[in-house]
Structure 1
Amino acid sequence: MKIQEIREIIKLVDNSSIDEFTYESEGTKVKLKKNGSIASTTPSVPSEPAAPAAPAPVAAVPAATPKAEEMVSEEVPELPVNSNKDLHPILSPMVGTFYQSPSPEEPAYVEPGTKVKADQVVCIVEAMKLFNEIEAEVDGEIAEILVKDGQLVEYGQPLFLVKTN
């Protein structure tokens, strides 16, 4: 399991109403608890081996595991200060990779100056191999694209500014 996947899970659990979460995959177990509890990652051991094999190396788990809040130290960039109240931000609903077009060979969904309608797809955010179409929430015109194609984005990070008139 990659650290980025763990970070995404931490953010999803943090933004949900659940207090405890356990996930097992490919011999790794991640257990998260909210409200000051600790987050830990441990190798899981199968109950019965399928066939005799040479012992595989196991990653050591530190004795003192940091809290979930300490594991993710990146801050979400704040919305640029703008005096124009007609600008509506389109925020990323998840952690992932921002893409302006459906594929590298195709043109971008929108460019600055493009007129958009509410529920029109403006970009894709890839999270854990899933491509999520992000839609405009309001009618208007794209005033500014705040991130670059292929850039990692955080939950709640502004992606676009839409002039709503």
Structure 2
Amino acid sequence: MDMQQVFTLMERFAASPLTGLEVALEGGRVKLEKSAGAGPASAAPASSAPLQAQLHAPAPAPELPGCLITAPLVGTFYAAPAPGEAPFAPVGASVRKGGTVCVLEAMKMMSQVPAPFDCVIEEVLRKDGELAEFGAPLFRVREL
């Protein structure tokens, strides 16, 4: 099981109503758990056959006023679709629910990050090319 498969598994698990999942495939085992009604899942390898990297729960987000849009996966943050192009969601922009606010690159795969609700971007909390951990704050927004 490569890391991209682990990240995909984590995303699907986080979006599911399940509170626990354990998968054993080709030299590794991953166990995911979350509290009933809780947000993102935490993950940790459950076998002596280590994966390529140690998975862990995200560090708590710093206290920031307003609502936050957080990283749904680990990846490199990009505010624009390509270098030199306008950002998806600059400060002051109104974004509709589902509109792209940035992309995260993980293992050469680009994942668009959608706005979870209609909002106004108040602050961009990451720089282009900066690594964002799972659950890390990306934007401070005001809900419309």
Please report the TM-score for the alignment, with normalisation by the length of structure 1: 0.60
* Equivalent residues of 1:13, 1:21 under 8 A apart: no
Question: Which residue identity is paired with 2:133?
Answer: E
Q: Distance in 1 between matches of 2:141 and 2:106?
A: 24
Q: Is 1:20 paired with 2:3? A: no
Q: Is 1:105 paired with 2:84? A: yes
Q: Is 1:76 paired with 2:59? A: yes
Q: Is 1:143 paired with 2:122? A: yes
* Equivalent residues of 1:8, 1:95 under 8 A apart: no
- 1:10 Cα shift? 7.4
Unaligned runs of 5+ in 1: 24-29, 43-67
Q: Is 1:40 paired with 2:52? A: no
Q: Is 1:31 paired with 2:28? A: yes
- 1:149 Cα shift? 0.8
Question: Which residue identity is paired with 1:112?
Answer: V
Change (3 A) 1:33 1:163: closer
- 1:112 Cα shift? 1.3
Change (3 A) 1:161 1:122: same
- Counterpart of 1:130 in structure 2 is 109
- Counterpart of 1:161 in structure 2 is 140
Larger radius of gyration: 1
- 1:81 Cα shift? 3.5
Question: Which residue identity is paired with 1:40?
Answer: A
* Equivalent residues of 2:78, 2:103 under 8 A apart: yes
Q: Would you say how many aligned residue pairs link Structure 1 and Structure 2?
A: 125
- 1:22 Cα shift? 2.2
Q: Give the aligned CA root-mean-square deviation in angstroms.
A: 3.3
| SS at 1:9 equivalent | helix
| SS at 2:21 equivalent | coil
Higher strand share: 2
Identity %: 30
